[in-house]
């Protein structure tokens, strides 16, 4: 049996046990998915304690709603969305702080649509950069410097890999607004990365 087919079959059995109220099945779900879900919440909340609380709330919500889960998606995918929702609720509940502008990080364009100043070439391709653990860590640090609205959409689309429609729904905005916000977030992130990634100047 192919790995994906086997995983789906095991998940179906686990779901039936969860619906039957099998406590061992609840423990199995937490054991199998807890670590990954904690990583999701931690990326969004930037706090271990808050992430742990969000994941705990998410599992409780999932257990309460398990009878309503129709199986249209993978159980893990459904749980992932609940965790993302729990983290977003905590972000909304935080005291609102004035957010810094990203305008200084965005490129300037001429009236004809061309860059006013052409972006400098990077020493390595984005793929090569992401293959380096040190660079990945630096990218995560720079993402955390973005204003919350831009940081969140970037995480949901580019890290959690949600589609535009689902991202917009979770954020309470239109799909077009989500696309615009994501585009600006990517440009701002490049602005933060640019000074460190340029080709060294020739003597």
Q: Dihedrals φ, ψ of 46, to 5°? A: 60, 30
Torsion sign over Cα 155, 130, 33, 166: positive
| SS3 label, residue 45 | helix
71 close to 107: Cβ distance less than 8 angstroms: no
**pLDDT given at position 11:** 87
Give the pLDDT confidence score for residue 126 in this predicted structure: 47
Asked if residues 37 and 79 have their Cβ atoms less than 8 Å apart, the reply is yes
C-alpha triplet 11, 58, 86: angle, nearest 5°:
130
Give 4's pLDDT tier (boundaries 50, 70, 90). Answer: confident
158: nearest Cα among 197, 190, 132: 190
pLDDT bin (cut points 50, 70, 90) of residue 116 is low
How far apart (Å, rounded) are the C-alpha atoms in residues 22 and 13?
11
Q: Could you tell me the two tokens for 68?
A: 């309503």
Span of 60-64, 127-131, 143-147, 182-186 with lowest mean pLDDT: 127-131
Residue 157: the pLDDT is: 92
Is residue 85 within 8 A of residue 62, CB to CB? The reply is: no
Over residues 64-68, mean pLDDT: 92
Mean pLDDT for 56-64 is: 95
Q: Domains of the chain (ranges plus CATH)? A: 3-93 (1.10.1740.10), 103-197 (1.10.10.10)
Dihedral sign of CA atoms 51, 54, 59, 60 in order = positive
Q: Which pLDDT does position 16 carry in this prediction? A: 92
State residue 142's pLDDT score.
85
Question: Structure tokens of 148?
Answer: 């919350």
76 phi and psi angles, rounded to 5 deg: -65, -35
Rounded-to-integer distance, Cα 180 and Cα 174, Å: 10
Q: How far apart are CA 167 and CA 172, in angstroms?
A: 8
């Amino acid at each position: 049996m192919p790995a994906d087919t086997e995983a789906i079959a095991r998940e179906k059995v686990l779901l039936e046990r969860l619906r039957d109220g099998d406590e061992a099945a609840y423990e199995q779900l937490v054991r199998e998915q807890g670590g990954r879900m904690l990583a999701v919440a931690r990326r969004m909340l930037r706090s271990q304690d808050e992430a742990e609380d969000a994941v705990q709330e998410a599992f409780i919500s999932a257990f309460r709603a398990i009878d309503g889960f129709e199986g249209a998606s993978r159980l893990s995918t459904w749980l992932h969305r609940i965790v993302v929702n729990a983290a977003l609720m905590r972000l909304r509940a935080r005291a609102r702080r004035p957010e810094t502008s990203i305008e200084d990080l965005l490129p300037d364009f001429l009236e004809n649509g061309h860059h006013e100043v052409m972006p400098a070439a990077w020493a390595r391709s984005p793929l090569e950069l992401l293959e380096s653990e040190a660079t990945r860590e630096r990218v995560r640090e720079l993402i955390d410097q973005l204003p919350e609205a831009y940081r969140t959409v970037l995480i949901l689309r580019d890290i959690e890999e949600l589609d535009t429609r689902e991202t917009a729904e979770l954020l309470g905005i239109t799909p077009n607004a989500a696309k615009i916000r994501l585009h600006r977030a990517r440009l701002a992130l490049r602005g933060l990365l640019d000074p460190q990634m340029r080709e060294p100047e020739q003597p």
